[in-house]
Amino acid sequence: MTATAPPPKVRQWTWRSKSFRAVIYQIVAVALVLAAGAYLVHNTLLNMRVRGIQSGFDFISQPAGFSIGESVIPFDSSESYGKAFLVGLSNTLRVALIGIVLATLLGTLVGVGRLSRNFLVRAVCSTYVEIFRNVPLLLQLFIWYFVMTELLPPIEAAMQPLHGVFFSKNGLQYPIPHWAPGHAMTLAGLGLGAVGAWLWARKAKQHQFATGQSRPVVWPGLAIMIAAALLGWLVGGAPGALDVPEKTELNIVGGGSVTPEFLTMLIGLTIYTASYIAEIVRGGIQAVPFGQHEAAAALGLSNRMETRLVLLPQALRVIIPPLTSQYLNLTKNSSLAVAVGYPDLVSISNTSLNQTGRAIECIAIVMACYLTLSLLTAAVMNAYNKRSLIKER
């Protein structure tokens, strides 16, 4: 006797239907929110018009009339406010992205160190966490800025740890390569090397699943990337000209440089956020059942292999969600750059607001930028979190 399929559900679009009422309630709720927002916007624009306050985003295309001390994108005072905001956003992204990478590395090392069997390592890591986690970030930024601007030597007595590298109150100056067409080939080779490293990691994972034997991934992948970049450099003609900074009587000219304000923000954000990441990593490792440690010991794994192959992969499902929050906090905490004079997005917005009087518009641009950055960061981390979850059968 064959089983018959249940009859398909028929939606009843009547008030007696629970699903129908739920849809109506949601439509009404959304309509009320939109109506309240429209009323607030209309009321605000009306009050501004009565008081003779200009509104609108037409100022975006007008000349900014101010210069920006530090920018990745070339900027002149005759260019528009829109480009000025773009420069501020690029400065925010630069300090946030580099800070996230450095804070993750430092926080992971400190978090693992807090579980070390060595008393000295454990004590140093614990002291680091307790000091930097409990001192307000703004105060730490002021301290680092004082170190950069007062305790470092002046330009004429700049420290020179390496040839062509100068460190002083003027910031950090270092050699950079003169751009040549061959560098494009180097970057192309580096990209191909990254693809090759990914393929090697995938093949090593398949081999481990098939045989139970693990193959090294990090060092071979790094070797593939370096070899591919070197090959691209050779194919491109092996350009080797460098723009080396030189110290003159008044200043240091040439090469690349980063200002004390950028170093202050990078060091402060990295050290402060790493103290929280360290606790997240420590808690994630301790959340792994102790039986996993016993199983690793039974297999004869060393402490380093146990941490890398057993504990950290299983701890990721606990680490990633709070780690996402720390990445978001680091990005938003970069808005404190205005306190030390670093021209980030908030600093550019304040200058534009003072010159144009478009307070609502400038604040709206800043809010939209930070909201977009936060949503993108959360989306990337959520996607990585799904891939890191333990698949149960």
Q: Give the residue extent of every domain in the chain.
A: 81-151+259-388
Residue 36 pLDDT: 93
What is the helix (H) or strand (E) element at residue 388, kind and residue range? Answer: helix 359-388
Q: Would you call 220 helix, strand, or coil by DSSP? A: helix
Residue 264 pLDDT: 93
Distance from C-alpha of 25 to C-alpha of 28, rounded to nearest angstrom: 5
CB 57 within 8 A of CB 82: no
Residue 296 pLDDT: 81
Residue 324 pLDDT: 92
Q: Closest by alpha carbon to 327, among 248, 269, 268?
A: 269
Q: Where are the alpha helices (DSSP H) in 114-180?
A: 119-133, 137-146
What is the helix (H) or strand (E) element at residue 177, kind and residue range? Answer: strand 176-177
Residue 7 pLDDT: 60
Q: Closest by alpha carbon to 283, among 310, 311, 309?
A: 311
Distance from C-alpha of 224 to C-alpha of 286, rounded to nearest angstrom: 35
The sheet carrying 171-174 orders its strands as 159-162, 165-168, 171-174, 256-258
CB 326 within 8 A of CB 96: no
Residue 104 pLDDT: 94
Structure tokens at 244: 């080396």
Mean pLDDT, the chain cut into blocks of 10 residues (393 residues total): 58 74 90 91 78 76 86 86 92 94 94 89 93 93 89 84 84 83 85 90 83 79 89 83 79 83 93 95 87 81 78 84 93 91 91 86 91 92 81 56
Q: Return the CATH fold of 81-151+259-388.
A: MetI-like fold (1.10.3720)
